[in-house]
């Protein structure tokens, strides 16, 4: 199914420009000229990504984003704030309101398409998990909202990969305010940590000496253990080409150097919440699957499990010449 993108801007020319760019990439585009109209559309129709202009009369983009993210019906829809103000304070304010990403005017076409595709993939996964969790809830397995809130407020375990001593020390100090950071100074050390420990976010510098940070990101995305681990990359200005490659391979977010402390903490907080929420839904799904084939009283596999696997076991017994018993 084609991803549906909602473009929100009070200036018609901006709406038409973004609509044309997105339609050329075969996205289904909806439009709104103010924040309230955008909220109404999100509550009424399926929306996969919202491109939201910040500077609008009446309800601005920050307030619109905050309302979307505080509404249980729309909180999971990715929101990209589109702004002409490339100021860290504006980005932090948007991230604190729940925004998933930023685009700065004039909007670069490659960045626009790459980020929308990335967030649309994430939305598809989230929708599937929410639907399965709702099915489980309807079958009597209630979702614990208080537990979700508690999980999102716990300190996250953050793996920082940076070989610059001063930069690494700053990152670790800042992250220690709200999280539990672990430092690795090489991709090899990082992979060793990822193989042994569980982390909530991976932060990778793309300026590692003698190493390719994107290769580490790719390895983390390919490994079963870290496939769903949120990744944030640190990028030098002017290195947009490598950034876009990273976003396309599954990097979740990025921070331009020099790194601002507030922006770092806000972006990491967003990714930790998303990771904890996704993990909880995934665990609920696994529990639902297990409940369908395990007898709750004895803890043994039930008749449904036997009917599914008995034919395979019989075939194996015939091939190997071994006996098969059913108790």
Q: Tell me the pLDDT band of 152, cut-offs 50, 70 and 90.
A: low
**In degrees, to the nearest 5, what angle opens at C-alpha 248 toward C-alphas 78 and 260?**
65
Residues 216 and 155 placed together within one structural domain of the fold: yes
- pLDDT of amino acid 103: 87
In the chain, what percentage of residues exceed pLDDT 90? 53
Mean pLDDT of 146-172: 85
- pLDDT of amino acid 316: 78
**Higher-pLDDT residue of 277, 251:** 251
State yes or no: pLDDT of 143 exceeds 70: no
Rounded CA-CA distance 258/9 in Å is 30
Q: Judge whether 327 lies within some domain.
A: no
- pLDDT of amino acid 12: 96
- pLDDT of amino acid 121: 82
Mean pLDDT of 122-133: 74
Domain count, the chain: 3
Question: What angle, 0 to 180 degrees and rounded to 10, lies between the N-to-C axes of helices 213-222 and 187-196?
Answer: 20
Q: Judge whether 325 lies within some domain.
A: no
Q: Tell me the pLDDT band of 145, cut-offs 50, 70 and 90.
A: very low
Rounded CA-CA distance 172/181 in Å is 6
- 288, two tokens: 């639902």
Q: Using an 8 Å Cβ cutoff, are 21 and 109 in contact?
A: yes
Q: Judge whether 257 lies within some domain.
A: yes
Mean pLDDT of 69-92: 86
Q: Judge whether 16 lies within some domain.
A: yes
- pLDDT of amino acid 139: 56
Rounded CA-CA distance 206/137 in Å is 43
Mean pLDDT of 307-318: 77
Residues 42 and 170 placed together within one structural domain of the fold: no
Residues 218 and 271 placed together within one structural domain of the fold: yes
Of 83, 111, 135, the residue that ends a domain is 135
Q: Tell me the pLDDT band of 176, cut-offs 50, 70 and 90.
A: very high
Q: Is 120 exposed, middle or buried (0-12, 13-18, 19+ CB in 10 A)?
A: middle
Residues 209 and 94 placed together within one structural domain of the fold: no
Mean pLDDT of 192-215: 96
State yes or no: pLDDT of 161 exceeds 90: yes
Q: Tell me the pLDDT band of 133, cut-offs 50, 70 and 90.
A: low
3-state secondary structure of 301: strand
Rounded CA-CA distance 115/121 in Å is 10
Q: Judge whether 220 lies within some domain.
A: yes
Q: How far is CA 97 from the centre of its chain?
A: 16
Q: Which structural domain range is residue 56 located in?
A: 4-135
- 110, two tokens: 């490659």
Tokens 């839904």 -> residue: 281
Cβ contacts of residue 296 below 8 Å, gap of 6+? none
Rounded CA-CA distance 185/2 in Å is 41
- 68, two tokens: 């979307």
Residues 182 and 113 placed together within one structural domain of the fold: no
* Selection from 20-29, 246-255, 312-321 with the highest mean pLDDT: 20-29
Residues 80 and 163 placed together within one structural domain of the fold: no
């Amino acid at each position: 199914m084609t991803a549906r993108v909602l473009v929100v801007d009070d200036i018609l020319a901006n709406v038409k420009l973004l609509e044309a760019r997105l339609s050329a990439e075969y996205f289904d585009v909806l439009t709104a000229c103010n924040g309230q109209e955008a909220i109404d559309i999100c509550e009424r129709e399926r929306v996969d990504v919202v491109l939201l202009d910040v500077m609008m009369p009446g309800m601005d983009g920050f307030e619109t984003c905050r309302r979307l993210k505080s509404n249980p019906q729309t909180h999971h829809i990715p929101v990209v704030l589109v702004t002409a103000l490339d100021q860290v304070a504006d980005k932090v304010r948007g991230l604190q309101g729940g925004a998933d990403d930023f685009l700065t005017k004039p909007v670069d076409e490659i960045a626009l398409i790459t980020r929308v595709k990335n967030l649309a993939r994430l939305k598809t996964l989230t929708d599937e998990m929410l639907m399965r969790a709702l099915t489980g809830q309807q079958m009597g397995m209630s979702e614990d909202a208080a537990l979700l809130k508690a999980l999102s407020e716990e300190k996250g375990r953050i793996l920082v990969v940076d070989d610059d001593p001063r930069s690494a020390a700053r990152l670790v100090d800042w992250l220690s305010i709200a999280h539990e950071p672990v430092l690795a100074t090489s991709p090899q050390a990082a992979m060793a940590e990822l193989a042994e420990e569980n982390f909530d976010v991976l932060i990778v510098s793309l300026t590692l000496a003698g190493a390719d940070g994107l290769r580490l990101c790719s390895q983390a995305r390919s490994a079963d253990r870290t496939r769903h681990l949120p990744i944030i990359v640190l990028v030098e200005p002017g290195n947009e080409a490598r950034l876009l490659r990273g976003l396309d391979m599954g990097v979740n977010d990025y921070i331009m150097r020099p790194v601002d402390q507030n922006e770092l903490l806000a972006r990491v907080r967003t990714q930790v919440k998303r990771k904890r929420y996704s993990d909880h839904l995934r665990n609920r799904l696994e529990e639902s699957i297990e409940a369908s084939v395990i007898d709750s009283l004895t803890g043994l596999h039930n008749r449904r499990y036997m009917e599914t696997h008995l034919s395979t076991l019989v075939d194996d017994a015939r091939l190997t010449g071994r006996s098969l018993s059913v108790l």
